[in-house]
Amino acid sequence: MNQVESRVRSARRRLMLAQFGRNLCWTLFAASLVAIIAIAIPAIRSMEINFESWTYSWLTGSVVVAVIIAALFAAMTAPSVESVAAEVDHRFGLRERLSSSLSLKPKSRQSDFGVALVNDAEAKAAELEVAERFSLRPAKLGWLPVAMIPVLAIVLLLVEPAKNSNAGIVKETDLAEVNQVKTVASQLKKRIQQQRRKAEAEGLKEAEVMFEKMESELDKITKSENMDRKKAMIALNDLKKELEERREQLGSPDSMRKAMSQMKGLQSGPADKVAKSIEKGEFGKAEDMVKQLANKIRDGKLSDQEKEQLKKQVEQMKKQLEDAVKEHEQAKKELERKIEQARREGRGEDAAKMQQKLNQMSQKDGQMQRMQQMAEAMGKASQAMQQGNGSQAADALEQMADQLGDMQQEMEELEDLQSALDELSQSKSQMRCEKCGGGGCKSCQGNGFGDGPPGEGLGKGSGKGDRPESETDTNTYDTQVRGQVKKGKAIIAGFADGPNRKGITQEDVKQSIEAALNEQSDPTENQTLPRTEREHAQQYFDSLREN
């Protein structure tokens, strides 16, 4: 390597190192900010970490990343050899000798001019001290990362992890209690899995999704190493609340059966069994029977007499369903009117109770909507049979069958939800049981009813423990408010003839007398008297004392 290239490469290395130093100042400043924020996070938010390892990791990692980024940026922005040679010429005043010699082509180097130029450049390059003009000295920018050192030191001295952090700390939780919670949650998870598979087989998508969510929550309980009974109870109560909200959306199975129990007093005909099945709440059987009737109508297997009987039965069922829906709406409106009246009259307690009843009635709106849709389908079927159009009548009956199928699915989902609620209640009893450790026994699974051993204070003989939880209303509560007694309303007892006469009323006279009686006289004991009067009064009192 000749002298020119050696000096130019030396200058290039120094330029790259200077650029690396400037980059490192900025990257170390940014890295220190990130590290300070990361070290302070465990003091703000509880994290399951080892705080010491967390601190060292962020400090070391931030420095390493800062160095790597600074080096990569310096390499990417490194100047070319030609530009460095020009810079050397500029700083040493060589009038482009080095840059010109490096830019010569091989053929030009062989010429007399080229040989003279290269020899001159070599001679000048041999005399150069690159370190003098391309020195590596600390700049003011270097104070930027240094300024963050005191801040980092303060953070390291003052910041402590949150007290409830689980990193490296064994919680004072009873191991037997944790194992009991895990045992109960594992058993409940298996039962919920069976419920989910059943819902999947029945095509109940929403119930399947809800059971999957329950499985996920129970899986968290079984995998947690510090889940005590209180936390587990809170988690189960949250699941129970979600199940109850879904049940309120669908209504109860009994209310659905009661709403559809209007199919009575129908004339005899092909739809007798359909009406009885609907009345009993067996919507699945009713669906199959309606589909069979639709197929018979489409295939022409019903006689004219049977068609007429079916038409009358369909009309009767339609009327009964419409009457039930109308009665439900009228009852709601009447209750809303009574609630508004009670509020106007200031009867807040009565209004709250009636509002609660109205909310319960509103839960049946979905069922009423199903009944209205069925009534509309029945109306279409009756009209089609009246017109002799068997195909349209069959389509309308199939639509009615679909509505029954949906109601059957809702019934099955309600039963699954009720079963899941029962499973949750049983699991809560098992978590509280001190006899079986959550494995299940007569005390916790039977709740102490019957002739078995008394549990929770409800069986024969002496009971013990807490009584089982009962469903209570949480929307309202009883309270005592002291009323402010005011003047009553004026009541007109009658009318008197004659013109009005202005004068003093008896009430005005009464008020004047009472004011006069209650008025106190002005005291005169502290009145200041003139000198002569004071002397006269003194003589008077002295004479009274002497006598």
Q: Is the pLDDT of residue 455 over 60?
A: no
Query: Cα separation of 316 and 381, whole Å?
Result: 12
22-50 confidence digits (pLDDT tens): 888 899 889 888 888 888 888 777 777 78
Cβ within 8 Å of residue 9, ≥6 positions away: 1, 81
Residue 312 has which token pair?
A: 């009358």
- 169: confidence class by pLDDT, cuts 50, 70, 90: very low
Q: CA separation (Å) from 179 to 164, 437, 444?
A: 22, 8, 17
Q: Quick one: pLDDT at residue 68?
A: 93
pLDDT at 459: 47
Which pLDDT score, from 0 to 100, does residue 69 have?
92
Using 50, 70 and 90 to split pLDDT, how confident is the model at 480?
Answer: low
Give the confidence band of 254 by pLDDT, cuts at 50, 70, 90: low
Residue 147 has pLDDT above 80, yes or no: yes
CA distance 161 to 40: 8
Q: What is the mean pLDDT of residues 61-76?
A: 90
User: Is the model's pLDDT at 448 over the cut of 50?
Assistant: no
pTM of the full predicted structure?
0.41
User: Above 60 in pLDDT, residue 255?
Assistant: no
Q: What is the mean pLDDT of residues 399-414?
A: 77
Calpha distance 141→134 (Å, rounded): 18
Q: Can you tell me the mean pLDDT for 97-118?
A: 77
Res. 170 pLDDT band, cuts 50 70 90: very low
Q: What percent of the chain has pLDDT over 90?
A: 1
How much is the average pLDDT of 57-70?
A: 89
125/255: higher pLDDT: 125
- Per-residue pLDDT, 516: 64
For the chain, the domains span 3-158, 174-441
DSSP letters spanning 483-540: ---------------S-------HHHHHHHHHHHHHPPPPP-TTPPPPHHHHHHHHHH
Average pLDDT value for residue range 361-388: 79
DSSP classification of residue 203: T
Overall average pLDDT of the 498-517 stretch: 65
Give the confidence band of 449 by pLDDT, cuts at 50, 70, 90: very low
Q: What is the DSSP string of 58-124?
A: HHHHHHHHHHHHHHHHHHHTPPPHHHHHHHHHHHHT-TTHHHHHHH--HHHHHSHHHHHHHHHHHHH
> pLDDT tens digits, residue range 287-341?
888 888 888 888 887 787 887 887 887 788 888 778 888 888 888 888 888 888 8
Residue 95 pLDDT > 50: yes
Q: Indicate whether 348 pLDDT > 80.
A: yes
Q: Identify whether the C-beta of residue 363 lies closer than 8 Å to the C-beta of residue 251.
A: yes
Q: Taking 60 as the threshold, does the pLDDT of residue 523 lie above it? A: no
